Amino acid sequence: MFTSKANKIFQEVIEKYHVINSVDQPFENAYSKTDLIEHLLYRKCWIDTVQWHYEDIIRDPQIDPVAALTLKRKIDASNQDRTDMVEYIDSYLLEKYKDVTPKANATINTESPAWGIDRLSILALKIYHMNEEATRTDASDGHRAACKVKLDVLLEQRVDLSTAIDTLLYDIESGDKYMKVYKQMKMYNDDELNPILRGQK
């Protein structure tokens, strides 16, 4: 199943990141571009993992305002990278299924496969960090117990989401569903579409 591979890669990424556990560490993809989907999934989850920790840092109430603004710019850039990677993964899947002829009664899904995969990557991060909280030796029994309940829900959610993604891909492959991907067309990063940026030109 596709998501078995994806979940394994996401776990690899998260564990690799936490060896050094720094947003400034260099990135090296464990998969070559010849293994394209593995390469894309690894890069996607790395972006998500770094951004997860950016979001932790920027919530420090003692953060220097100048540093916070710099970090906000990094988060904006990371969000764009995240969106780009989703579109690359969808492009890979569009190419993979390009010769499938949808059935006459085929329907479209509410989201593209890659946006489901995006949620699966974020879910892997939630599971990793909730497990940390559920096993923290310096936390109270009550804290660990509450986090264990949440962890169980997240694990169930991963099973459900994985099943839904695999079912969607099977339905696309069999012609029961068809892919139609819309580019995000984000406006706030565009010099021509953001009126604040446009006014400074």
Q: What tens digit of pLDDT does each residue of 98-153 get?
A: 999 999 999 999 999 999 999 999 999 999 999 999 999 999 999 999 999 999 99
Judge whether 62 and 34 are in contact, CB under 8 Å: no
pLDDT for res 118: 98
pLDDT for res 189: 66
Query: Which residues on neighbouring strands pair with residue 178, listed in sequence order?
Result: 108
Calculate the dihedral angle through the C-alpha atoms of 132, 135, 137, 141, rounding to the nearest 10 degrees: 120
Q: Band of the pLDDT at 186, cuts 50, 70, 90?
A: low
Rounded mean pLDDT, 35-55 = 98
Helical packing angle, 2-20 and 141-174, nearest 10°? 140
Q: Band of the pLDDT at 196, cuts 50, 70, 90?
A: low
Q: Give the separation between CA 134 and CA 120, rounded to whole angstroms.
A: 20
* CA distances from residue 154 to 28, 141, 178 in whole angstroms, order as listed: 28, 20, 29
pLDDT for res 188: 67
pLDDT for res 185: 65
Please tell me the number of Cα atoms within 13 Å of 107 on its side-chain side. 4
* CA distances from residue 40 to 64, 87, 98, 193 in whole angstroms, order as listed: 35, 10, 19, 29
> pLDDT per residue over 57-82, tens digit each?
999 999 999 999 999 999 999 999 99
Q: Give the separation between CA 44 and CA 84, rounded to whole angstroms.
A: 9
pLDDT for res 200: 73
Q: Band of the pLDDT at 197, cuts 50, 70, 90?
A: low
Rounded mean pLDDT, 79-101 = 96
Q: Does pLDDT of 182 surpass 90?
A: no
Would you give the DSSP letter of residue 187? Answer: S
* CA distances from residue 127 to 7, 10, 105, 148, 150 in whole angstroms, order as listed: 11, 11, 38, 10, 9
Judge whether 113 and 179 are in contact, CB under 8 Å: yes
pTM: 0.91
pLDDT above 70 covers a percentage of the chain that reads 94
pLDDT for res 183: 74
> Nearest 5°: CA angle at 31, between 30 and 32?
125
Would you give the DSSP letter of residue 3? Answer: H
